Amino acid sequence: MNSNQSLQFPVDDRVRDALAVTLRGCDELIPQADWVAKLARSQATGVPLRIKLGLDPTAPDIHIGHTVVLNKMRQLQDLGHTVIFLIGDFTTMIGDPSGRNSTRPPLTREQIEANAQTYYRQASLVLDPAKTEIRYNSEWSDPLGARGMIELAAKYTVARMMERDDFNKRFKEGRSISVHEFLYPLMQGYDSVALKADLELGGTDQKFNLLVGRHLQQEYGQEPQCILTMPLLEGLDGVEKMSKSKNNYIGISEDANTMFAKVLSISDTLMWRWYTLLSFKSEAEIATLRAEVEAGRNPKDAKLLLAREITARFHDAAAADTAEQDFALRARGGVPDEIPALTLKLGEGGAALGIAALLKMAGLAASSGEGNRLIDGGGVRVDSAVVSDKGLKLGAGTYVLQVGKRKFARVTLG
């Protein structure tokens, strides 16, 4: 895009507002002037911009760290632009070397297809499915063939490829670099050519690959895309990036109660970063909330709002309500203020009653057999302690019996 194109359309308040949405929480926008010009052109002509995000289905599930870029896509989608959710079924067979100190083992076609089946369903919890274009990069990568691959490879130099930090470091340390790894950024860049992308999003670790796409579009005579990198979200520990391998993640398919509780476990400092990167609240709303906390409002109030928003997004409002109630219940020691109370007689001669039979008598299990199965599953508590012994017998006294998370009875034996 040359300077004449940049000046062709006026930059009004709507363009400035769209730029503010783009920049919220981002790490880099390259080059910003070109993006402003694209926004102005789109505003003037009514033609939406094409915004691309590619994800390789390397695992069956995604966590909320992956949704940082999805959230940005949704924000841009709400501005009226065309969002392209690209599933990298072809590039996954190569294996993205970004940030790796060794060759990434490629997945089988069967593994890729199994993982890809869940990706869009999970991404649809953030994106608007009715306004999302779904593509697979095997559409154009498979037909490229050997001749096309050679022609593509001729458009980039080894010297430029070795500027990549991970390649450069591995080369200097004598670690192996397979030739096929050079193909990954080329194929990711070719995706942008095939899709005629105006903007490509990715994490900060994807910057090199995104720039390759910009270069290749110029090589193929297209207007080069802008690139937008988003920070890597810190996990529950507030230190390492969110990762399943580090067990500091929240999976978007986790149950609502677990998701809600995990959000509440983060630090007050990390909460504000999560608000910027994960919340759909406006920056003005977040600023107001932060000012209230700094003025003395309990930060837990703000964290509860964030937990409700995230849980409702991946489940629904009712599930978020239930999760909040469950958390409050456990915060009070796990026992509701009002639970059924009943008095039962001990066995003949004052004999203690077996726990499975007692669960049936209290209406907490349909039968003694079901009671035993509940115990085997770790779902039975007596006075908040998990019961693991099916042979447990209870004598005279008052006990709080619990099955699962919400079934309680206060039983007096005598």
Whole-model pTM?
0.70
**Cα separation, 60 vs 374, whole angstroms:** 30
Q: What are phi and psi of 230, to 5 degrees?
A: -110, 145
As to burial, measured by CB atoms within 10 angstroms (0-12 exposed, 13-18 middle, 19+ buried), residue 403 is buried
Q: Is residue 354 part of a domain?
A: yes
**167 and 78 in a common domain:** yes
Of 212, 230, 248, which residue constitutes the final position of a domain?
230
**364 and 312 in a common domain:** no
What CATH number is given to the structural domain containing 364?
3.10.290.10
Residues of the chain with pLDDT under 50: 1-7, 101-102
Q: Is residue 357 part of a domain?
A: yes
Q: Is residue 374 part of a domain?
A: yes
**Cα separation, 10 vs 150, whole angstroms:** 42
List, as own/partner pairs, every contact residues 130-134 make where C-beta atoms lie below 8 angstroms and the sequence separation is at least 24, other chains included: 131/77, 131/82, 131/83, 132/77, 132/83, 132/84, 132/85, 133/82, 133/83, 133/84, 133/85, 134/85, 134/87
**For position 193, what pLDDT does the model report?**
96
Q: What is the 3-state secondary structure (H, E, C) of the chain?
A: CCHHHHCCCCCCHHHHHHHHHHHCCCCEEECHHHHHHHHHHHHHHCCCCEEEEEECCCCCCCECCCHHHHHHHHHHHHCCCEEEEEECCCHHHHCCCCCCCCCCCCCCHHHHHHHHHHHHHHHCCCCCHHHEEEEECHHHHHHHHHHHHHHHHCCCCHHHHCCCHHHHHHHHCCCCCCHHHHHHHHHHHHHHHHHCCCEEEEEHHHHHHHHHHHHHHHHCCCCCCEEEEECCCECCCCCCECCCCCCCCCECCCCHHHHHHHHHCCCHHHHHHHHHHHCCCCHHHHHHHHHHHHCCCCHHHHHHHHHHHHHHHHCCHHHHHHHHHHHHHHHCCCCCCCCCEEEECCCCCCCCEEHHHHHHHCCCCCCHHHHHHHHHCCCEEECCEECCCCCCEECCEEEEEEECCCEEEEEEEC
**405 and 271 in a common domain:** no
**For position 336, what pLDDT does the model report?**
65
| Residue 290: domain span | 256-331
**188 and 40 in a common domain:** yes
**364 and 218 in a common domain:** no
**37 and 174 in a common domain:** yes
Residues 70-95 have pLDDT tens digits of 999 999 999 999 999 998 888 887 76
Of 185, 215, 230, which residue constitutes the final position of a domain?
230
Q: What radius of gyration do the chain's Cα atoms show?
A: 28
Q: Is residue 241 part of a domain?
A: no
**For position 201, what pLDDT does the model report?**
96
**267 and 225 in a common domain:** no
What CATH number is given to the structural domain containing 223?
3.40.50.620
**10 and 56 in a common domain:** yes
Q: Which two tokens stand for residue 301?
A: 């109030």
Of 284, 307, 331, which residue constitutes the final position of a domain?
331
Q: Is residue 248 part of a domain?
A: no
Q: Is residue 245 part of a domain?
A: no
**124 and 205 in a common domain:** yes
**293 and 323 in a common domain:** yes
Residues 7-62 have pLDDT tens digits of 477 789 999 999 999 999 999 999 999 999 999 999 999 999 999 999 887 776 77
Write the CA distances from 330 to 245, 326, 384, 401, 405, integer angstroms.
Answer: 28, 6, 10, 15, 9
Q: Is residue 246 part of a domain?
A: no
Q: What are phi and psi of 19, to 5 degrees?
A: -65, -40
Q: Is residue 239 part of a domain?
A: no
Q: How many domains does the chain have?
A: 3
**191 and 60 in a common domain:** yes
**345 and 326 in a common domain:** no
**For position 119, what pLDDT does the model report?**
80
